[in-house]
Amino acid sequence: MSYPNQTEIIAQDVTMRFLKAQTKSHSLKELLVQTLLGNRHREYFTALDHVSFTVQTGEIIGLIGKNGSGKSTLLRIIAGALTPTSGKILVDKKKVRLLTLGAGFDPELTGKENVYLNGALIGYSKAFLDDVYPSIVRFSELEGFMDEKVRNFSSGMVSRLSFAIAAAQEAPEILILDEVLSVGDSHFRKKSEARIREMIHGGSTVLMVSHSNAAIRDHCTRVIWLENGRIRKIGTPSEVCGAYEKALSAL
């Protein structure tokens, strides 16, 4: 497949380090002694280590790798939710929408109230939510439950509502999908996968994380394999997924 000669995303030497949780002091005296003796060392975890790549307009990029390899951290930096420790991402953040599930739900609020809360966090206006609220309820198949507090919902109900909110808007110019391809029971999963397929193949530039190599092979035009925060391999889905599967089988 050919793409317009336009670069949509540039990652330049991106490094992300997080401060590890420090050993707790059991008393103020112990804290003071540790500080005076210089024993309170800061330890960091490197989630991304000098990552560089480019994404062209219209590409569908899959990110694969084991848990903790830096995939979701990278997506959140691109979306503007995190700022890298060093390096930079060049992208028009106004074009980007991150679709992830469950963020911003308050169990003490009703389903309806959470639609407006979660929708606002995603960036939807109240007017837009007023318009799409009935379709969100229909898609989630939660008619009759929206005035119940979310703490009374099953995990499957929460996932269905979260997905319906996130997928309510038409696909943006740059769509970022973080593990949203397996939602609910088999019936709802088919419906959600069909909606995601519409969004992926609707002309957006897409970055997606999935632990399903079958989904990566089906949808993506290029794949980035992250390992311990570094790029292990970039190439076609067949080439990269094959190498990744071979590496896993050797463990």
* Domain CATH number, residue 157: 3.40.50.300
What's the structural domain count of the chain?
1
Q: Which residue has the tokens 């939710």?
A: 81
Is 88 contained in some domain? yes
Is 194 contained in some domain? yes
Distances (CA, A) of 58 to 6, 7, 117, 217: 9, 10, 31, 16
Beta strands in the chain (DSSP E): 7-19, 44-56, 60-64, 86-90, 96-99, 174-178, 205-209, 222-227, 230-235
Is 161 contained in some domain? yes
> In the prediction, which pLDDT does 1 show?
43
Whole-number Å distance between alpha carbons of 165 and 251: 39
Whole-number Å distance between alpha carbons of 245 and 71: 17
Of 212, 221, 233, 246, the C-alpha closest to 51 is 233
Is 233 contained in some domain? yes
pLDDT lower than 50: segments of the chain: 1-3
> In the prediction, which pLDDT does 60 show?
95
pTM: 0.80
Is 41 contained in some domain? no
Pairing mode, strands 7-19 and 60-64: unpaired
Is 219 contained in some domain? yes
Whole-number Å distance between alpha carbons of 72 and 120: 21
> In the prediction, which pLDDT does 24 show?
59
Is 191 contained in some domain? yes
Residue 143: which domain range? Answer: 7-35+46-249
